[in-house]
Copies of this chain bind each other. A is one copy, B any other.
Amino acid sequence: MTEKRLSRRRAIGIAGAGVAGVGIAGVTGAALRGAFDPPLSAGASPSDAVDFHGEHQAGITTEVPDRLHFVAFDVVTKDRARLVELLQDWTAAAARMTAGQDAGVIGAVNGSPEAPPDDTGEALSLPPSGLTLTVGFGPSLFRDADGRDRFGLAERRPAALADLPRFPGEALRPEISGGDLCVQACANDPQVAVHAIRNLARIGMGVVSVRWSQLGFGRTSSTSRDQATPRNLFGFKDGTANLKIEDTALLREQLWVQPGDGPEWMTGGAYLVTRKIRMIIETWDRTSLGEQEELVGRAKGSGAPLGQHDEFDPINLKATGPDDRPRITETAHVRLAHPDQNNGARLLRRGYNYVDGSDGLGRLDAGLFFIAYQRDPRRQFVPIQTQLARHDGLNEYLRHVSSGLFACPPGVREPGDFWGRALFD
């Protein structure tokens, strides 16, 4: 075991062995409090920890680690104060966990050795693993499906958080769509991402209830030019033309909510759209390479736009082939999604591949969990997806089965502040 793998607190291990011999009756509060104290910083290697505090939430432009656990919650209390308290508790736990610590200190909250541990334990001894936790507020938090303003937030709903229109061909399942709150956990180790979501759900017991949750692997986008472009389950490079952290001016223009865009509490935040896109991979796998490349508009191997040679060569929508047909057809995915076809609109994507077992019809239940951050979905995701839903040749191999829309507030600037404070002020 390397020193790096010791960064989560080890005290529980040592003290745990010490108290084990006396059995349940002999466990003392003092021993347990000691066991669950925060680790000495000397023992921690923060090298793969991502800063939790900052102007923006981590997990948006942060380099995309390979594993995802995304969860949407319903708020089950009607008590605004309890919701605020939860956001405070979550923020404290998120700051701890992203630093490679446990979710909570047992003695501090429960005060009794007979109480359940304040951390579930499965990430003990695992390093921070690049964990980021990003929170978002769904439209139903502001006004629910029955039109109720449960938390006195209806007037603070941003216009940009407008319900998405119905797109042609989508087959959304309501039970895995929407949600009052969401948390996106990204990490290099799925055990660390799952641990974080599970502990937030545990802390939220009685206040929130898990509505749906999705695991992902094999990120399908890069948010930095330092990251190689990964492949989706169509076998193609995905995210070549993504907004990247190096695009400073574009990030201001396309990603971060600016002063004057809407309610001030969202300034520095971003809007998140999630779409679970089932891929009919068995049909795709019977399609010829040439047709696959024509549908996408890129070469499968290199990722180069058709008519070009390198992955990052610009897409030339006007180029024609020897037969005078456009090299990138009218229904090619890269043409329809291109900023030139969408008033310059772009997205910061950080989606993941998923496999959820099989579908009972002899096929793998697999596809893309699409995640896109943006400044205003009305000018970005909605027009782009409208184009794609109408014309994309890939639609034959796709089905949108889940949809989510969330307002992700700006970052937590310092300890003591909490997720979404300005919304509740």
Contacts and interface: CB of A to CB of B under 8 A. Distances in A.
Interface stretch (A13-21, A42-50, A79-87): A13-21
Query: Which residue, of A211, A217, A228, has the highest number of chain B Cβ atoms within 10 A?
Result: A217
Given A27-B290, A113-B289, A327-B21, A202 B282 contact: yes
A307 B388 CA distance: 64
Given A194-B366, A202-B282, A302-B14, A235 B124 contact: yes
A210 B362 contact: yes
Given A209-B362, A357-B215, A357-B356, A299 B191 contact: no
B218 A190 contact: yes
Interface stretch (A247-255, A317-325, A407-415): A317-325
A293 interface: yes
A20 B308 contact: yes
A15 B233 CA distance: 21
B358 A211 contact: yes
B288 A218 contact: no
A214 interface: yes
Nearest to A214: B357
A107 to B, nearest CB: 11
A30 to B, nearest CB: 14
Nearest to A27: B290
A131 interface: no
A301 B357 contact: no
B12 A121 contact: no
Interface in A325-357: 325, 327, 353, 355-357
A232 B201 contact: no
A263 interface: no
A123 to B, nearest CB: 8
A376 to B, nearest CB: 30
Contacts of A353: 122, 191, 194
A159 interface: no
Contacts of A17: 299, 301-302, 304, 308-310
A194 B217 contact: yes
A212 interface: yes
A276 to B, nearest CB: 10
A32 interface: yes
A24 interface: yes
Given A202-B285, A290-B113, A366-B198, A175 B360 contact: yes
Nearest to A16: B301
Given A106-B289, A194-B353, A213-B357, 13 more contacts: A11-B301, A17-B299, A20-B304, A21-B309, A23-B290, A23-B323, A23-B325, A116-B286, A120-B281, A194-B218, A194-B366, A201-B282, A202-B285
15 contacts: A13-B301, A14-B302, A16-B293, A17-B299, A17-B301, A25-B323, A66-B189, A121-B300, A122-B232, A123-B231, A194-B353, A198-B281, A201-B282, A213-B355, A215-B357
